[in-house]
Amino acid sequence: MLIAGNWKMFKGSAETRAFAAAFSAPEGVEAVVCPPFVSLAAAVESGLTVFAQNVHWEDEGAYTGEVSAPMLRELGVAGALVGHSERRQYFGESDETVARRAAHALAAGLRVIACVGELEEERELGRTEDVLTRQISVLQPHPALVVAYEPVWAIGTGRTATPEQAQEAHAFVKSLLDVPVLYGGSVKPENAEELLSQPDVDGALVGGASLDPDSFGSICRIAARIRS
Ligand code: PEP
């Protein structure tokens, strides 16, 4: 089971080192953190398994503000998120750019967590499967690819999908693309067990609750218990 912590725009190098000193992953779970770019080196040097929060589709070039897969590999970074809903919502990320980022990162030897998920109004209109189909259709199967199903209405809101909603969406994603699927959206120690117990939930992408080593550690221990 994979438990990934998306730190978003939190934690510089000093806070990253303090987190690493206080955190230990239990046996049987792969715990990954996704710090901001400037804290990647501190995270790697602290012994954490590290993914970046984004990666570009070229090795180098005139792309101000972007970082490439070879640069991440040189640092010892193991993988990258692509297509997080905050990137799609605030920074113009499209299905096409997500696909390019994912394909290039995988070809360059990084692992990838590709994020998908519907908006609240899309769910209310019964369009969840259409949205997931569109977002997944641009991705190619690969042994180092994982999908994170993150209903946008559940990210950072304190609202989570019910275990049944998560299971239904995960089974649907897997019917389109045969890869492990993480659940993301306000996962906390209090709700991790019921979500991670679903048969098609292969782990979690955790935002807010991954910033604290105790709560992230609790989620990892719950995951270890479920799959042991
Ligand atoms: C995320 O950032 O991917 C996320 C799921 O955030 P949160 O757990 O805070 O909802």
Helical H segments across 80-202, by residue range: 85-90, 95-107, 120-124, 128-137, 163-176, 189-196
189-197: long-range contacts, CB 8 A cutoff, minimum separation 24: 189/215, 189/218, 189/219, 189/222, 191/160, 192/218, 192/219, 192/222, 192/223, 193/222, 193/226, 194/163, 195/160, 195/161, 195/163, 195/166, 196/1, 196/222, 196/223, 196/226, 197/163, 197/226
* Residues in contact with 14: Cβ distance below 8 Å, sequence separation at least 6, in sequence order: 42
Which residue owns the Cα nearest ligand 1 atom 2? 207
With beta carbons less than 8 A apart as the criterion, state whether 44 and 76 touch.
yes
* Substitution candidate for ligand 1 out of 90, 183, 186, 201 with most atoms within 8 A of CB: 186
Query: What distance in angstroms lies between residue 207's CA and the mean position of ligand 1's atoms?
Result: 3
Query: What distance in angstroms lies between residue 208's CA and the mean position of ligand 1's atoms?
Result: 6
84: annotated active-site residue = yes
Residues with CB under 6 A from ligand 1: 6, 8, 150, 155-156, 184-187, 205-209
150: annotated active-site residue = yes
User: 3-state DSSP call for residue 180?
Assistant: coil
State which ligand 1 atom lies nearest to the alpha carbon of 157: 10
CA dist 150 and 199 (Å) reads 17
- Would you say the pTM of this structure is higher than 0.95? yes
Query: What distance in angstroms lies between residue 84's CA and the mean position of ligand 1's atoms?
Result: 9
Which residue owns the Cα nearest ligand 1 atom 6? 207
Q: Residue 181 CB: number of other CB atoms within 10 A?
A: 21
Q: Which residue, among 81, 61, 77, has the nearest Cα to 109 in the 3D structure?
A: 77
State which ligand 1 atom lies nearest to the alpha carbon of 115: 3
Which residue owns the Cα nearest ligand 1 atom 7? 207
Catalytically annotated residue among 93, 118, 122, 150? 150
Catalytically annotated residue among 84, 93, 104, 118? 84
Instruction: Output the tens digit of pLDDT for each of the chain's 228 residues.
Output: 999 999 999 999 999 999 999 999 999 999 999 999 999 999 999 999 999 999 999 999 999 999 999 999 999 999 999 999 999 999 999 999 999 999 999 999 999 999 999 999 999 999 999 999 999 999 999 999 999 999 999 998 989 999 999 999 999 999 999 999 999 999 999 999 999 999 999 999 999 999 999 999 999 999 999 976
Query: What distance in angstroms lies between residue 148's CA and the mean position of ligand 1's atoms?
Result: 11
User: 3-state DSSP call for residue 204?
Assistant: strand
